[in-house]
């Protein structure tokens, strides 16, 4: 399952644009490619005007880039363990002229501490691997496997890292499969990241929730608010009005 180095000349990459062409993003033609999860996380995570945001497992940097585009006062860090993806993320940051506000770190998030970053982190965002070892078919592509399966990092390790870098009242936003809602809420509380809001995400109005977006606050008092559900697709098969607006910026 070895992954060849990324050729930034373009042969091994595909190009895409968002927000009417104002944000340009490349990603590997094969291997890990971001999905609608990333778009939802970037838009639904509630940030404040001058927040410093840390993304754990940034991939090609799409979440960090979208957050930076939408909020011009944010400063952001993206951590990515796979060198080839970190290289693509840095390319995307430079191509969109955001290098003054975004820093991509190629490192194992389990080694991350407050000393790794020169600024106080206000918020952590993450789309963690969600397949537990031995559950279901193993992905044969290494990039996709690391992003989706708990190979290099588990949910507990993601939450432990977030707790370590956040100060009291720091926030965390996580998008995760709805089937693992209990796991996420229980482990967040275990790591002193108190779930404060949850939003169920459905592909279609009549279907079961497939994803959840949970925001937690470090060392906060208990009290969970359930937000109105979000539907990704309309009855005709296109994006819903809310998701369509996200893609327009």
Residue 242, domain extent: 13-248
Tokens 């796991």 found at: 183
Over range 74-78, report the average pLDDT: 97
**Does the global pTM surpass 0.75?**
yes
Predicted confidence (pLDDT) at residue 32 exceeds the cutoff of 80: no
pLDDT at 146: 44
Angle at alpha carbon of residue 127, lines to 85 and 13, rounded to 5°: 30
| 215: region left, alpha or beta (phi > 0 left; psi from -120 to 50 alpha) | beta
Residue at 4 is within a domain? no
pLDDT at 83: 95
Tokens 């993450």 found at: 126
Over range 79-92, report the average pLDDT: 95
pLDDT at 34: 87
Residue at 6 is within a domain? no
| 92: region left, alpha or beta (phi > 0 left; psi from -120 to 50 alpha) | alpha
Length of the chain as a residue count: 249
Using CA atoms, how far apart are residues 189 and 214, in angstroms rounded to an integer? 12
Q: How many domains are contained in the chain?
A: 1
pLDDT at 142: 53
pLDDT at 7: 60
Comparing 134 with 231, the larger pLDDT belongs to 231
Using CA atoms, how far apart are residues 96 and 79, in angstroms rounded to an integer? 18
Using CA atoms, how far apart are residues 244 and 139, in angstroms rounded to an integer? 30
| Mean pLDDT (the chain, rounded) | 89
Query: Which CATH number covers residue 137?
Result: 3.40.50.150
Residue at 7 is within a domain? no
Residue at 1 is within a domain? no
SS3 content of the chain, % helix, strand, coil (to 5): 30, 30, 40
pLDDT tens figures, 94-109:
999 999 999 999 999 9
Residue at 8 is within a domain? no
pLDDT tens figures, 110-131:
999 999 998 999 999 999 986 4
Residue at 29 is within a domain? yes
pLDDT at 11: 63
Nearest to 196 by CA among 170, 225, 168, 229: 225
pLDDT at 60: 95
pLDDT tens figures, 36-64:
999 999 999 999 999 999 999 999 999 99
The H-assigned helical ranges of 45-127 are 62-70, 83-95
Residue at 171 is within a domain? yes
- Kindly indicate the confidence band of residue 10, based on its pLDDT and cuts at 50, 70 and 90: low
Q: How many H-runs (helices) and E-runs (strands) does the chain carry?
A: 7, 11
Cβ pair 45, 123 in contact under 8 A? yes
Report in angstroms the alpha-carbon separations of 95 from 15, 27, 88.
12, 13, 10
| Structure tokens, 190 | 């275990």
Pairing of strands 209-218, 121-126: unpaired
pLDDT tens figures, 188-230:
999 999 999 999 999 999 999 999 999 999 999 999 999 999 9
């Amino acid at each position: 399952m070895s992954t060849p180095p990324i050729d930034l000349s373009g042969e091994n990459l595909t190009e895409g644009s968002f927000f009417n062409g104002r944000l340009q993003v490349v990603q590997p033609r094969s291997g890990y490619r971001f999905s609608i999860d990333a778009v939802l996380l970037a838009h639904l995570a509630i940030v404040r005007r001058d927040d410093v945001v840390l993304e754990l497992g940034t991939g090609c940097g799409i979440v960090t880039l979208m957050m930076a585009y939408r909020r011009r006062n944010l400063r952001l860090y993206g951590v990515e363990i796979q060198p080839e993806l970190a290289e693509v993320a840095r390319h995307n940051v430079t191509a969109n002229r955001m290098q003054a506000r975004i820093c991509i770190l190629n490192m194992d998030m389990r080694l991350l501490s407050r000393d790794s970053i020169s600024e106080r982190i206000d918020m952590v965002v993450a789309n963690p691997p969600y397949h537990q070892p031995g559950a279901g078919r193993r992905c044969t592509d290494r990039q996709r496997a690391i992003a989706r399966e708990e190979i290099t990092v588990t949910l507990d390790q993601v939450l432990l890292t977030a707790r370590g870098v956040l100060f009291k009242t720091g926030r965390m936003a996580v998008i995760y499969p709805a089937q693992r809602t209990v796991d996420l809420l229980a482990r967040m509380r275990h790591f002193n990241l108190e779930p404060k809001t949850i939003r169920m995400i459905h592909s279609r109005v009549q279907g079961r929730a497939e994803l959840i977006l949970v925001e937690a606050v470090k060392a906060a008092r208990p009290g969970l608010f359930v937000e109105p559900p979000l539907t990704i697709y309309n009855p005709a098969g296109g994006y819903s009005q809310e998701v369509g607006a996200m893609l327009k910026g």
